[in-house]
Amino acid sequence: MSTVHFFDTQHQIYWGLLIALYFYYTGMSAGSFILTSLGTVFGIEKYKKVSKVGVIMAIVLLAFAPLHLLFDLAQPGRFLSLFIHTNPTSAMSWGVYLLILYPIDLIIYAWYMFRQDMVIGLSKGGFKASFYSFLLFGKKDMTQAAKDNDLKKQKIFGTLGVPLALLVHGYTGFILGNVQARAIWHTPLMPIIFLMSAMVSGTGLFIIVLMLVEKFKFGRLGDDIKALISDIANLMKWFILVDGSLMVIYFIVLWYSNESGYASAYFLLHNDGWSFLGLENILGMLVPFLLMFTKKARQNMSLVVLSSILTIIGVLAMRINLVIGGQKLPLTGSKIIEYVASGRDIAVILGIAAAAVIVLSFFYSVLPMNRPGAQEKESIPVSKGVAQ
């Protein structure tokens, strides 16, 4: 008589909250840059006045995003192996180089955007003048030819940044979509879903940051900026509609696919229903879409802020639901794998977020954000921008 041995395989969730936040930061960076490019690349005049706000946000968020990956590694030095051992068939290997090329392109793009204003700011003296002098690298030419060259290079690097932004965040969805063992992830829609949700959260955060910059840098929200914010809120509404439609299609395909797909869909509805239905889809998409449905509502800045905050929360819930939720269903057995973020991970996340706010506040306070129709305040303490 043969003996059958059963083994209780221990499953773990390897991609936790830090990985979900990495996807979240890169998404908001890509979304904010695409909005910036509407003015400088696609030539929509009204968006040019807020391009500086978007490009700084895109650079800072992208700079802090990889820190989540480094802190997730037991030995952070291991990230160097991705540069030493290149695999052209690996999306993760391509992602490493995209994370280098994209920020370099953004920094050059931003330099040409700010150069002329920094040269003008040299005459004011003090810390700002010294800072501008350092950033200019001696390029202080203000001839018409130099100004034309700035616009030309701004357009070139901005145009290059659009596909890079799409690739940087699209590859994260591609990584998940190619994991065949995880039904929640394994769909060709995953890169598109990640890109559209990035546009939603990037637009939401862009609106809030723009309001803060206008208030603390220029002292008030002018009528022109209110009209532009209303227009951006309208864009956010349509981004939400497309993102929501993709999620409906994704869920229907998941539900009617195979046994593991149905189990995944059932898990999202019943086990993670409060997060998937409540936070991600109802509060994060349906409510802000309804709030921004009419033009009158979009002209109400309080409703716009509320809708923006809800979209930011909703997309964060989406990242957590897909990244962590996709690993809760075991590959063998029937026991749902529980996940609780460690105190260390939460502390790291809060620390990175605080550092990002401080750096954003510093750059918005120091760099010349001047635009047509508005006069900058003479002095804005960095601490004031952070505290408020």
In a domain, 11, yes or no: no
The yes-or-no verdict on residue 226 having pLDDT over 60 is yes
384 inside domain: no
Q: What is the pLDDT of residue 380?
A: 42
pLDDT tier for residue 374 given thresholds of 50, 70 and 90: low
Number of domains in the chain: 1
- pLDDT at 5 (0 to 100): 46
Tell me whether residue 335 is in a domain: yes
d(CA 116, CA 111): 9
Query: Which pLDDT value is given to residue 387?
Result: 35
Q: Is residue 379 part of a domain?
A: no
Contact 78, 92 (CB under 8 A): no
Q: In whole numbers, what is the pLDDT of the chain averaged over residues?
A: 84
Polymer length of the chain: 388
Q: Given pLDDT bands bounded at 50, 70 and 90, which one contains residue 157?
A: very high
Burial class (CB in 10 A: 0-12, 13-18, 19+), 9: exposed
Tell me if 318 sits within 8 A of 284, measured CB to CB. yes
Q: What is the mean pLDDT of residues 3-16?
A: 61
Between residues 359 and 372, the one the model is more confident about:
359
Q: What is the reported pLDDT for 332?
A: 67
Distance CA 91, CA 81 (A): 15
Q: What is the pLDDT of residue 335?
A: 74
Let me know if residue 382 belongs to a domain. Answer: no
- Name the pLDDT band for 382 (thresholds 50, 70, 90): very low
* One-letter-per-residue 3-state SS of 101-153: HHHHHHHHHHHHHHHHHHHHHHHHCHHHHHHHHHHHCCCCCCCHHHHHHHHHH
- For residue 297, tell me if it sits in a domain: yes
Given a cut of 70, is residue 373 above it in pLDDT? no
- Domain range for 313: 17-368
The yes-or-no verdict on residue 181 having pLDDT over 80 is: no
Cβ distance 16 to 72 under 8 Å? Answer: yes
* Domain assignment present for 223: yes
The 10s digit of each residue's pLDDT in 47-92 is: 888 889 999 999 999 999 989 988 887 666 666 676 677 777 776 7
Tokens in use for 314? 């909703």
Average pLDDT (221-227) is: 85
Residue 150 located in a structural domain: yes
pTM for this predicted structure: 0.86
How many CB atoms sit inside 10 A of residue 99's CB? 19
pLDDT digits (tens, 9 = 90+) for 306-364: 999 999 999 999 999 888 888 877 776 667 778 788 888 899 999 999 999 999 999 99
Residue 178 scores a pLDDT above 90: no
pLDDT above 70 (res 7): no
Instruction: Give the CATH number for residue 254.
Output: 1.20.1630.10
At 10 the pLDDT is 57
Q: List pLDDT tens digits, range 92-129.
A: 777 778 888 899 999 999 999 999 989 988 887 788 88
